[in-house]
């Protein structure tokens, strides 16, 4: 076989592979776009990152991410790391063990959602609504919760000191009736990814965060704990 014939065959093979890849991508987009709500939900919780992003883009285009159409969806284990879900209406959704690390969740509505054992490290939850949200075992290290509404949220009492570490290191905190104050540099070494709170953050017991908040009192004891 001549060199030219080999080169021509390689070119044909490359073109065929490119067409197959393009066709597969187009089929994915077409399937996602024509699919109904259940099809999109299945893709949103799948392992295929490209399919997740396609499904999310379609939900945004159709307005489903904001109009409550996804309310109550089962999305356990979803991988939404570093995606933009600002103002998403996700009330009552099941996001058990979901990966939401570094995700933009500003002004999102998670009321009564299940975020048990979810990875929320470095997520931006500023001004998000988390009323009666299940956050048992959720990793909130480095999360931005400024202005967030946590009224009635279900949080492990043992997670609270970790969740409030940023303001505790700066302003001090009350625990067990005693007032503690540590040098900010010591807190920085102990907690390099502190969670952010401010005076607009509403704590689980309904109070706004302040420097006098008692860490051992602001989480109500829920039945079953």
pLDDT of the residue at 208 = 85
Residues 135, 95: Cα–Cα separation, whole Å: 10
Q: Give the pLDDT of residue 175.
A: 44
Count of C-beta atoms within a 10 Å radius of residue 49: 12
Give the C-alpha separation, 28 to 39, whole Å: 12
pLDDT in tens, 78-101: 999 999 999 999 999 999 999 999
Residue 48's pLDDT is: 95
Q: Where does the pLDDT of residue 71 fall: very low under 50, low under 70, confident under 90, or very high at 90 and above?
A: very high
Work out the mean pLDDT of the chain and round it to a whole number: 76
For residues 146-150, average pLDDT: 87
Classify residue 17 as exposed, middle or buried by CB count within 10 Å of its CB (0-12, 13-18, 19+).
exposed
22 or 44, greater pLDDT: 44
Q: Calculate the CA 33 to chain-centre distance.
A: 24
Ordered by start, the domain boundaries in the chain are 1-69, 71-225
Residue 13 predicted with pLDDT over 70: no
User: What's the whole-model pTM score?
Assistant: 0.71
- Check pLDDT > 90 for residue 161: no
Supply the pLDDT for residue 151.
87
Pick 57 or 159 by higher pLDDT: 57
Q: Compute the distance between CA of residue 135 and CA of residue 222 in angstroms, rounded to an integer.
A: 12
* Residue bearing the bigger pLDDT, 24 or 154: 154
DSSP 178: E
32/206: higher pLDDT: 206
Provide the pLDDT for residue 143. Answer: 87
CATH T-level assignment (fold) for domain 71-225: Pectate Lyase C-like (2.160.20)
219 or 182, which is more confident?
219
């Amino acid at each position: 076989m001549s060199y030219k014939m080999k080169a021509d065959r390689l070119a044909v093979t490359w073109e065929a592979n490119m067409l197959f890849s393009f066709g597969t991508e187009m089929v994915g987009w077409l399937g996602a776009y024509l699919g109904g709500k259940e099809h999109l939900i299945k893709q949103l919780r799948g392992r295929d990152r490209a399919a997740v992003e396609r499904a999310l883009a379609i939900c945004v285009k159709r307005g489903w991410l904001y109009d409550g159409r996804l309310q109550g969806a089962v999305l356990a284990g979803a991988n939404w790391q570093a995606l933009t879900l600002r103002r998403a209406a996700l009330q009552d959704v099941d996001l058990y063990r979901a990966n939401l690390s570094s995700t933009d969740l500003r002004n999102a509505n998670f009321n009564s959602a299940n975020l048990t054992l979810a990875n929320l490290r470095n997520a931006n939850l500023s001004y998000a609504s988390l009323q009666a949200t299940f956050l048992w075992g959720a990793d909130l290290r480095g999360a931005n919760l400024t202005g967030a509404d946590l009224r009635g949220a279900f949080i492990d009492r043992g997670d609270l000191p970790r969740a409030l570490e940023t303001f505790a290191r700066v302003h001090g905190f009350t625990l067990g009736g005693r007032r503690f104050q540590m040098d900010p540099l010591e807190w920085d070494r102990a907690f390099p990814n502190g969670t952010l709170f401010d005076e607009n953050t509403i704590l689980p017991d309904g109070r706004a965060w302040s420097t006098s908040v008692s860490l051992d009192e602001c989480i109500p004891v829920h039945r079953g704990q």
